[in-house]
Amino acid sequence: MNLNEENSKPNKNENNPFSLPDGYFGSFSQKMMHKIELVEELKEFKLLSSIDKKSPFITPDNYFAHIEIKNELTAYSKLSSVKNENGFVVPELYFETSANSITTKIELAEELKGYPVLTSIEKQNVFVAPQNYFEGLSHTVRGKMFAGQTEETSVVRILHLVFSKKTAYAIAAMLVISLGLYFYNSGEETVSGDCGTLACMDKKEILKSNQVSNMDEESLMNLVDPVQLSKNLKKASKTSDKKDEKNYVLENADVNDVVDEI
Amino acid sequence: MGISDEEILKMYREESSRNMALHHLIEKYQQKLYWQIRKIVIDHDDADDVMQNTFIKVWKGLENFKEEAQLFTWLYRVATNESLTFLRQKQKQNTTSLHPIEYQLSKSLESDVYFNGDDIQLKLQQAILTLPEKQRIVFNMRYYDEMPYEEMSGVLETSVGALKASYHHAAKKIEEFLTAN
């Protein structure tokens, strides 16, 4: 009995631990003949036969595994119809920075190795912000930033409805200047009969004016209108004469004389 | 996914969407900047003031912002500088106390309603407040924000080597303070 034939039947001979696939010897000669034929065919093409025969084509990684997974899902029609997309998102630049952040974490741990007390403390943010603080911050900052601009822009917008943009801005600017001048002037008392010189100015006004304090004597003299000044001085002297008279009468008059006068 | 810096800057360049760009800028960076500022100025109301000033300054300077630089690095820098300026002004204004501002901040933490740390956390914050200004900022950025030295170098305009040295000095002083107290 052929030992090999015997061994081709798995577990037939318990003394021989080796076994062979079913029909191995049956197809062996056929396979050999096929191989020889192939070699013979290429014999005349020396260059071609010298090239190592292997497939240069490759498939994407896990291509066959992917097919297998797809096939597995065919039993579940609804599930396999769902587009296989990752619905999760990561923060911006996460992958670009994750390597750095891991390295930093390791470095940090290394750096603090020599400080046992510090390392023993739990690292946490101990500060608290008031509730809803961040919800209103954008509004607050923008409010603060554009506070001065709102009125001006609204005026310009109204004017822009009638005039061109440039004209609207020009009119708005003129309005601001005119109103400014109006309010500036209305705040001061107007001196009647103002002659535009120091003579017509109120004493308080002169004292309030910083410009006057910085003037030299000659400039001050130029500001004086001699005619108006002499008029004012006369007025002042008349007033003081009347005052003097009053004082004299009060000081020297006898009570009886006064009674007689009445 | 949030709006990108490029999108914010693009909106800023268009006059019609400029206001919206500011809104997005604040929404995107308010928390990160707030905690950075808060760790420097300690008090919430002060942090709020500095936050507003920071965004106003950023908004005014955005026109000159060079886009090859990272927006957040620049924002961080403005926030840090604003916080330090604020503390210096606070120190100047407070003529009644002989103590440095850091001491006052340290004391104020004990009664701060917006501070929820336990005793050891309070000690740690007080230890941080004993550090010189620059070391304090470096320590906060590295220890709490876990910022890489390269990025920190961009914010503080200091070499990586100097920052590393600064952090180690800070950690050593804090360790000593915690051990002693």
**HEC secondary structure over chain A:** CCHHHHHHCCCCCCCCCCCCCCCHHHHHHHHHHHHHHHHHHHCCCHHHHHCCCCCCCCCCCCHHHHHHHHHHHCCCHHHHHCCCCCCCCCCCCHHHHHHHHHHHHHHHHHHHHHCHHHHHCCCCCCECCCCCHHHHHHHHHHHHHCCCHHHHHHHHHHHHHHCCHHHHHHHHHHHHHHHHHHHHHHCCCCCCCCCCCHHHCCHHHHHHCHHHHCCCHHHHHHHCCHHHHHHHHHHHHHHHHHHHHHHHHHHHCCHHHHHHHC
Task: Quote the Cα angle for B11-B15-B20, to 5°.
Answer: 45
d(CA A19, CA A3): 11
* pLDDT for residue A109: 86
List, for residues B29-69, the tens digit of each pLDDT value: 999 999 999 999 999 999 999 999 999 999 989 888 887 77
The distance of Cα A109 from the centroid of its chain, to the nearest Å, equals 33
Minimal Cα distance from A130: which residue of B? B114
In DSSP terms, which residues pair with A127 in a beta bridge? Answer: B115
Minimal Cα distance from B140: which residue of A? A125
Distance from CA of A87 to the nearest CA of B (A): 12
* pLDDT for residue A186: 57
Question: Is A12 part of the contact surface with chain B (CB cutoff 8 Å)?
Answer: no
Neighbour-count burial of B156, counting CB atoms closer than 10 A to its CB (0-12 exposed, 13-18 middle, 19+ buried): buried
- Own/partner long-range contacts of B58-63 (Cβ < 8 Å, ≥24 apart): B58/B25, B59/A145, B59/B22, B59/B25, B62/B9, B62/B12
d(CA B76, CA B37): 9
- Does B167 have pLDDT greater than 70? yes
For residue A248, give Cα distances in angstroms to A236, A238, A262.
18, 15, 18
* pLDDT for residue A189: 45
* pLDDT for residue A213: 53
* pLDDT for residue A261: 46
Task: Quote the Cα angle for B85-B90-B96, to 5°.
Answer: 155
Question: Is A118 part of the contact surface with chain B (CB cutoff 8 Å)?
Answer: yes
Residue A86 token pair? 């990752």
* pLDDT for residue A76: 73
Residues of A with CB below 8 A from B121's CB?
121, 124, 126
Which residues 137-166 of chain A have a CB within 8 Å of chain B? 137-138, 140-142, 144-146
Mean of all residue pLDDT scores within chain B: 90
d(CA B133, CA B84): 8
Q: pTM of this prediction?
A: 0.53
Residue A80 token pair? 């396999």
Q: Using an 8 Å Cβ cutoff, are A128 and B115 in contact?
A: yes
**Count of A-B CB contacts under 8 Å:** 102
A128/B115 CB distance under 8 A: yes
Q: Is B159 helix (H, G, I), strand (E, B) or coil?
A: coil
* pLDDT for residue A190: 42
Which residues 66-95 of chain A have a CB within 8 Å of chain B? 89, 91-92
Query: What is the mean pLDDT of the segment spanning B113-118?
Result: 86
Residue A250 token pair? 């009060």
Minimal Cα distance from A123: which residue of B? B144
Question: Is A259 part of the contact surface with chain B (CB cutoff 8 Å)?
Answer: no
Question: Is A174 part of the contact surface with chain B (CB cutoff 8 Å)?
Answer: no
* pLDDT for residue B1: 58
d(CA A262, CA A256): 10
* pLDDT for residue A42: 79
Tens-digit pLDDT string for chain A (262 aa): 444 444 445 555 567 778 778 888 888 888 888 778 777 777 777 778 788 777 778 877 877 777 777 777 777 777 677 776 666 776 767 667 777 777 788 888 888 888 989 988 888 888 989 888 888 888 888 887 777 565 545 555 555 545 555 565 666 667 666 666 665 665 444 444 444 455 555 555 555 555 555 555 555 555 556 666 666 666 655 655 555 555 554 555 555 554 444 4
Q: For residue B23, how many other CB atoms are within 10 A of its CB?
A: 16
Residues of B with CB below 8 A from A145's CB?
22, 55-56, 59
Residue B39 token pair? 């760790």
Residue A188: phi, psi to the nearest 5?
A: -105, 150
